[in-house]
């Protein structure tokens, strides 16, 4: 908001200016201090953001700060955070989370997420194992129970963890994988639609309907469109 000082994040040193919003993951080397007697006036909060053993903010590759174009809006969000944190309202805890999520969305919408790095966590390794199993057994009928068994997890817990990490249910993800493989086979082979359906583990009568729902065209139409583009 005002004042002078310095901020060090993982060896990078900044001189924060009024209107800058910093987002610093927990567990990184950080320090801060003031310059002379003109101390910082700022809003701040600590929070945790994790899925299983994964620290979400450490997994996101992002800038350390953004320049805020709507300072009044951000100040209002911080004031709401303080208000609900101190409130005895029944839903105050939910409102705190809601405001915090709005702040995070504000930051990421204006900074962009360069990429998500999930490597190194046991949960990530488990998901890699499952996805590799999907790829190697794409022609087989696979259930959530089958997939959870590969990483020795309860099917319900596995489904929730998978959705949290990848944004889709395991079966939805598998079906998307199957459709991508089907598109490759339609474009690059002379296999019939029924043969391709078998290759990707879907009953032929259901395959065409699923393909059209996802791609907006039947498998045969998709193949013709691809060939017309080549001509």
Residue 199 near residue 139, CB atoms below 8 Å: yes
pLDDT at 50: 59
- pLDDT band for position 43 (50/70/90)? very high
pLDDT at 55: 55
Write the class of the CATH domain 122-230: mainly alpha
pLDDT at 231: 47
Between these two residues, 57 and 199, which has the higher pLDDT value?
199
Q: What is the mean pLDDT of residues 14-24?
A: 92
Domain ranges of the chain: 5-116, 122-230
pLDDT at 123: 76
Q: Which two tokens stand for residue 195?
A: 């043969």
Q: What percent of the chain has pLDDT over 90?
A: 48
Residue 182 near residue 191, CB atoms below 8 Å: no
The CA dihedral of 100, 101, 103, 108, to the nearest 10 degrees, is 150
Per the prediction, the chain carries an average pLDDT of: 86
CA angle 32, 38, 43 (to 5 degrees): 55
- pLDDT band for position 149 (50/70/90)? very high
User: Given a cut of 80, is residue 65 above it in pLDDT?
Assistant: yes
């Amino acid at each position: 908001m005002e004042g002078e000082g310095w901020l060090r994040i993982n060896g990078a040193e900044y001189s924060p200016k009024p209107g800058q919003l910093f987002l610093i993951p927990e567990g990184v080397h950080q320090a801060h201090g003031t310059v002379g007697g003109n101390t910082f006036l700022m809003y701040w909060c600590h929070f945790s953001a994790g899925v299983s053993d994964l620290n979400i903010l450490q997994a996101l590759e992002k800038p350390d700060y953004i320049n805020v174009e709507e300072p009044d809006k951000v100040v209002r969000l911080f004031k709401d955070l303080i208000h609900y944190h101190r409130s005895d309202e029944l839903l105050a805890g939910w409102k705190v989370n809601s405001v915090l999520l709005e702040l995070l969305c504000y930051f990421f919408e204006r900074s962009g997420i360069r990429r998500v790095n999930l490597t190194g966590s046991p949960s990530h390794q488990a998901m890699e194992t499952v996805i590799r199993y999907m790829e190697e057994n794409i022609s087989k009928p696979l259930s959530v129970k089958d997939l959870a068994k590969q990483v020795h997890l309860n099917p319900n817990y596995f489904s929730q963890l998978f959705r949290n990490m990848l944004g889709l249910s395991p079966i939805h993800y598998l079906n998307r994988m199957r459709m991508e493989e089907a598109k490759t086979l339609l474009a690059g082979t002379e296999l019939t639609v029924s043969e391709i359906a078998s290759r990707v583990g879907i009953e032929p009568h259901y395959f065409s309907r699923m393909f059209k729902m996802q791609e907006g065209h039947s498998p045969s139409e998709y193949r013709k469109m691809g060939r017309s583009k080549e001509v």
